[in-house]
Structure 1
């Protein structure tokens, strides 16, 4: 990947960008938590379902609402060339997060014997906290991938600091990154042309 002054921000700039992303992730996640807990409470008290079934139903509804928030608000500027891949990975990592959350709830109810409604809610909060950290890392790393930045005019044609692969020093041309970005854009244009 090409490194330029624009594409190689300082540590402070990266942390500021990450903190903004964390805040937006938290807002979308908080809306999902509200949906999750509302559906969980309705399932337990309204439909009298078991706690694990209620948790799974609530989490599935929250996953759907969170995807919309992440895709169309937080990560709207990220690569959307392969929605099928994105949705598949989103569901995979969301499902893993659901297993983490449900595992903590199941452990507290069936192993620790904490089975009152408020104890179940507390266990759900603990499981949700662990699952949220897992989801944040996996979504930003693998699901909503960043679009590679094109090389700017006057930028060096190779990476500023050569990469080391199996002991050998390799300089990757910036034109490869530009070619990948152009290929992604061409793919999007073809998809839109077919849709019309």
Structure 2
């Protein structure tokens, strides 16, 4: 099998890529947090809705804005072949994250009796932190799936010219395999160059 740095990145490269992804996830998530808290504050203070109802409205608005950031900025290079599947899974995992967040808020308000606006905000922060960890893992694992990497072509043991000289009937296949292997190597190199540019 052909092994190159492009097709088989080291652990350090994988961790660097993951940390870059986590930073971008955090930026999109932070914008969602700002939207979430702003809508929550307006609902709880301006509209005088109950805390759980306010949390659900705020989280739904944040989910919509986050999807746009994840799909069109962070995971724009991921497989978007099945948009219906992607949106369905995104909403499913976002809903589960919202249940985590709302559960923590409900527990603090209705079980612990922490009912002031600032205590509710503190509980919302805790729930949001737990929900965010859940969302990061689920989004990158199941929602925004990576485009499958091409399988590296089998490298011939001898140079292509030597193969064509010894096996005349196989001559057309050997140059084609070499061209495919070269194209895959160029594609992998270009992907790494684009990843470093981001």
Q: TM-score range by the shorter chain?
A: 0.7 to 0.9
Bigger Rg, structure 1 or 2: 2
Distance 1:155-1:138 versus aligned 2 partners, 3 A rule? farther
Match runs of 1:52-91 below 5 Å: 52-91=52-91
Query: Is 1:148 aligned with 2:120?
Result: no
1:3 to partner: Cα distance: 6.4
Unpaired segments ≥5 residues, structure 2: 157-179, 181-198
Q: TM-score, normalised by structure 2?
A: 0.75
SS of 2:148's partner is: coil
Match runs of 1:32-47 below 5 Å: 32-47=32-47
SS of 1:145's partner is: coil
- Name the structure where helix makes up a greater proportion of residues: 2
Deviations 1:148-196 (A, max 9, x none): 112356658xxxxxxxxxxxxxxxxxxxxx9xxxxxxxxxxxxxxxxxx
Which runs of 4 or more aligned residues in structure 1 lie more than 2 Å from their structure 2 counterparts after TM superposition? 2-5, 151-156
Aligned to 1:107: 107
Q: TM-score, normalised by structure 1?
A: 0.76
Unpaired segments ≥5 residues, structure 1: 157-177, 179-196
Aligned to 1:191: none
Match runs of 1:126-165 below 5 Å: 126-152=126-152
Aligned length, in residue pairs: 156
